[in-house]
């Protein structure tokens, strides 16, 4: 058996409302919020970045897993907003969780699905008995260009998972994984560019929907499961509308999608988006319940997983004392656009 031994997330405390961003650009805030289904988004503090959030999430996952961090054999950090262009973030995480030096580390890039790619790599290591545990993290504090549609959604957060093969420790068995990948330039950022660019309407049908739906169908076919076999479904959330539409297309009832739909409250956390949604479901799911999770990364590809909750979840959730996804969502402080600009260093060039 291979599965999740522990998980942890991190969401920075600051929030800006969609209305407040719209106010600056003379847009109708209520309409934008309803259109995107994003009411507010998380904003990192001036002293936070993809590395610090990864560390906070990783520490939570180690505490929840109740394992010795020196038994972790690999740390994979997935992001598209690493603090350095050259200098790994995974090594910072490894040292900050007191992992051993006998460890392999790498940073992964695949737009918003680099974190789920890390889970797949850790699964392979663990199945091959190369290591006892692997750690996979999705972390991002991405920025939208001022006034771009992405400015309303691009937010910050991280999710960390410890993958192992001991059935006495696993809280959610990974029944299988399936990826669907094509060469589709729907979203990109060139080296040295501060903000990403996107193919506008091109990002919908041929990119997000085609890959996420193919991923969901692919994993169900591979495992001979159907929509009815799943109690929950979580998809990458660039906004609230896309995952809801995906669920509808697949014939999944809305109440199975809603529990993971965190984008309304925190925005699109990129590499952490579907993964924080997944953790919210881990926070409330019961043993024997099944979860469909499909990430999406522009460029483009999807990673689909089927998770089956085990009875170990109850004890680990209750005894670890690690904050839940809702704890992080509710611990918030609103900032206005001026402070937001300071936080996001948009005023940097003026100084």
Partner 1 sequence: MSDRSVPLFWRKSKQMYNLIGSECITCGTRYFPGRRICPQCRKEGQMHEFKFSGKGQVVTYSVVRDAPEGYELEVPYIVAIVQLEEGPRLTTPITYCDLDEIFIGMPVEACFRKLREAGDHGIIIYGYKFRPIKGAKPN
Residues that bind partner 1 (CB under 8 A): 13, 45-49, 51-52, 55-56, 59, 83-84, 92, 95-96, 98, 331, 342, 345, 348, 351
Give me the least distance between CB of 187 and partner 1, in Å please: 25
Nearer to partner 1, 288 or 331 (CB): 331
236 is catalytic: yes
Residue 128 main-chain phi, psi, to 5 deg: -80, 0
Which one of 173, 236, 279, 293 is the catalytic residue? 236
Which one of 39, 80, 151, 169 is the catalytic residue? 80
Nearer to partner 1, 40 or 303 (CB): 40
122 is catalytic: no
Nearer to partner 1, 48 or 107 (CB): 48
Nearer to partner 1, 52 or 268 (CB): 52
Contact 53, 89 (CB under 8 A): no
- Short-list 32, 39, 34, 36, CA closest to 15: 39
Give me the least distance between CB of 61 and partner 1, in Å please: 14
DSSP 150-206: GGGTB-EEEEEEEEE--TTT-SEEEEEEEEEEEEE-SEE--TT-SS-EE-GGGGIII
Burial class of 81 by CB neighbour count within 10 A (0 to 12, 13 to 18, 19+): buried
Can you tell me the distance from the alpha carbon of 99 to that of 222, in angstroms, rounded to the nearest whole number? 35
80 is catalytic: yes
Which one of 112, 122, 279, 293 is the catalytic residue? 112
Query: How far out from the chain centre does Cα 276 lie?
Result: 5
Give me the least distance between CB of 283 and partner 1, in Å please: 18
Positions annotated as catalytic residues are 80, 112, 236
């Amino acid at each position: 058996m291979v599965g999740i031994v522990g998980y942890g997330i991190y969401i920075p405390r600051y929030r800006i409302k969609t209305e407040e961003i719209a106010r600056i650009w003379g847009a109708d805030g209520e309409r934008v919020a309803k259109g995107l289904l994003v009411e507010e988004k998380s904003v990192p503090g001036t002293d936070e970045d993809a590395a610090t959030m990864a560390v906070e999430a990783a520490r939570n996952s180690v505490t929840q897993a109740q394992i010795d961090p020196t038994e972790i054999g690999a740390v994979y950090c997935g992001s598209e907003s690493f603090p350095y262009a050259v200098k790994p973030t995974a090594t910072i995480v490894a040292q900050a969780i007191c992992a051993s030096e006998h460890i392999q580390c790498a940073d992964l890039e695949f737009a918003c699905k680099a974190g789920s790619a890390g889970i797949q790599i850790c699964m392979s290591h663990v199945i091959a008995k190369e290591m006892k545990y692997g750690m996979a993290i999705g972390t991002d504090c991405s920025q939208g260009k001022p006034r771009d549609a992405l400015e309303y959604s691009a937010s910050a957060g991280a999710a960390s998972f410890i993958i192992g093969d001991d059935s006495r420790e696993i809280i959610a068995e990974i029944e299988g994984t399936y990826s669907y990948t094509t060469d589709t330039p729907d979203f990109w950022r060139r080296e040295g560019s501060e903000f990403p660019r996107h193919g506008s309407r091109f990002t919908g049908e041929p990119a997000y929907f085609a890959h996420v739906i193919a991923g969901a169908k692919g994993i169900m076919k591979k495992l001979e499961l159907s929509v009815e076999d799943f109690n929950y479904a979580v998809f990458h959330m660039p906004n609230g509308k896309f995952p809801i539409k995906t669920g509808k297309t697949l014939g999944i009832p809305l109440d199975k999608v809603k529990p993971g739909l965190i984008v309304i409250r925190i925005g699109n956390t990129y590499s952490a988006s579907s993964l924080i949604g997944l953790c919210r479901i881990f926070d409330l799911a019961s043993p024997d319940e099944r979860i469909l999770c499909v990430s999406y990364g522009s460029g483009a590809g999807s990673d689909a997983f089927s998770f089956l909750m085990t009875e170990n979840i109850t004890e680990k959730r209750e005894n670890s004392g690690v904050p839940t996804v809702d704890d992080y969502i509710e611990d918030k402080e609103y900032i206005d656009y001026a402070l937001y600009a300071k936080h996001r260093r948009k005023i940097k060039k003026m100084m």
